[in-house]
Chains A and B, each alone.
Chain A
Amino acid sequence: MARKTTTAQMTMATIFAWAVGLIMFFPILWTALAAFKTESDAYSLPENWWSTPWTTENFGIVQERSNYLRYILNTTIIAVVSTLLGLVLAIPAAWSMAFQPEDRASVSWPGYVWLVIILGAMAAAAAIAYSVGWAMSARPLLGLLLIVIFSLPIAAWVWTRRTGDKLLWMLSTKMMPPAGALIPIYLIFNRNGLVFKDWGWIDLSEWNLIDTFAGMIPLMMLLNLPIVIWMLYTYFKEIPFGILEAARMDGAGLWQELSSVLAPMALPGIASTLLLNVILSWNEAFWTLNLTNKYAAPLSFFISEYSSPEGQFWAKLSAASLMAIAPIMVLGWFSQRQLVRGLTFGAVK
Chain B
Amino acid sequence: MTTLLKSLLGACALSTLAIAAQAETTLTIATVNNGDMIRMQKLTDDFTKANPDIKLNWVTLEENDLRQKVTKDISTKGGQYDVLTIGMYETPIWGKKGWLVPLKGVDDAADLLPAMAGGLSYEGKLYASPFYGESSFVMFRKDLMAKAGLTMPAEPTWDFVMNAAKKMTDRAAGVNGICLRGKAGWGENMAFIGTMANSYGARWFDEKWNPQFDTPEWKAALTDYLAIMKDAGPQGASGNGFSENLALFQSGKCGMWADATAAGSFVVDPKASKVAADVGFAVAPDKGLGKHANWLWAWALAIPAGSKKATEAEKFISWATSKHYLELVASKEGWANVPPGTRKSLYANPEYQKVAFANMTLASINAADPNHPTVKPVPYTGVQFVAIPEFQGIGTKVGELFSAALAGQMSADDALKQAQDYTKAEMTKAGYIK
Contact = CB atoms under 8 A, between A and B. Distances in A.
Interface stretch (B32-40, B164-172, B217-225): B32-40
Contacts of B14: 214
B242 interface: yes
B65 A311 contact: no
B3 A310 contact: no
A312 B60 contact: no
A304 B272 CA distance: 23
Nearest to A192: B77
A140 interface: no
A159 interface: no
Interface string A151-180: 000000000000000000000000000000
A218 B7 CA distance: 9
A30 interface: no
A186 B76 CA distance: 10
Interface in A182-221: 186-187, 190-194, 206-214, 217-218
A192 B78 contact: yes
A227 to B, nearest CB: 18
Interface string A107-148: 000000000000000000000000000000000000000000
A310 B266 contact: yes
B242 A310 contact: yes
Given A214-B8, A304-B61, A192 B79 contact: yes
Nearest to A313: B243
Interface string B72-99: 1000111110000000000000000000
B85 to A, nearest CB: 13
Contacts of B147: none
Contacts of B58: 294
Interface residues of B, number: 40
A210 B78 CA distance: 9
A265 interface: no
A308 B78 contact: no
B330 interface: no
Given A186-B72, A304-B61, A218 B8 contact: yes
Interface string B1-17: 00110011001101110
Given A192-B78, A212-B15, A214-B12, A305 B243 contact: no
A324 B161 CA distance: 45
A207 B60 CA distance: 25
A209 B61 CA distance: 20
Given A187-B76, A192-B79, A310 B16 contact: no
B11 A311 contact: no
Contacts of B11: 212-214, 217
B76 A312 contact: no
Contacts of A310: 33-35, 38, 242-243, 246, 266
Given A43-B251, A85-B7, A304-B65, A191 B33 contact: no
A309 interface: yes
B42 to A, nearest CB: 9
B78 A191 contact: yes
B357 to A, nearest CB: 16
Contacts of A191: 78-79
Interface of A is mostly: loop
Contact of A308 (B8, B12, B79, B243): B243
A285 to B, nearest CB: 12
Contacts of A289: 65
Contacts of A4: none
A210 B80 contact: yes
Contacts of B78: 190-193, 208, 210
A85 B4 CA distance: 9
A14 interface: no
A308 B3 contact: no
A307 B59 contact: no
Given A89-B3, A194-B76, A311 B250 contact: yes
Contacts of B77: 192
B344 interface: no
A311 B247 contact: yes
A8 interface: no
Contacts of B251: 40, 43
A65 B242 CA distance: 22
Nearest to A312: B247
A40 B246 CA distance: 13
A268 B315 CA distance: 57
A191 B77 CA distance: 8
Interface in B19-38: 28, 30, 33-35, 38
A308 B245 CA distance: 12
A311 to B, nearest CB: 5
Given A192-B79, A218-B4, A304 B62 contact: yes
B360 to A, nearest CB: 20
A56 interface: no
A92 B344 CA distance: 70
Nearest to B242: A310
B44 to A, nearest CB: 13
Nearest to B77: A192
B250 A312 contact: yes
A293 interface: yes
Nearest to B249: A311
Interface centre among A186, A192, A308, A311 (most CB of B within 10 A): A311
Interface string B221-249: 00000000000000000000111101100
Contact of B38 (A214, A218, A309): A309
14 contacts: A43-B247, A190-B76, A192-B77, A193-B78, A207-B12, A210-B78, A213-B15, A217-B11, A293-B28, A305-B61, A308-B241, A309-B243, A311-B243, A313-B243
Interface of B: 3-4, 7-8, 11-12, 14-16, 28, 30, 33-35, 38, 41, 57-62, 65, 69, 72, 76-80, 241-244, 246-247, 250-251, 266, 272
3 closest Cβ pairs, A-B complex: A214-B11, A310-B35, A293-B59
Given A214-B12, A312-B250, 9 more contacts: A85-B7, A88-B3, A89-B3, A186-B76, A187-B76, A192-B77, A213-B11, A308-B62, A310-B266
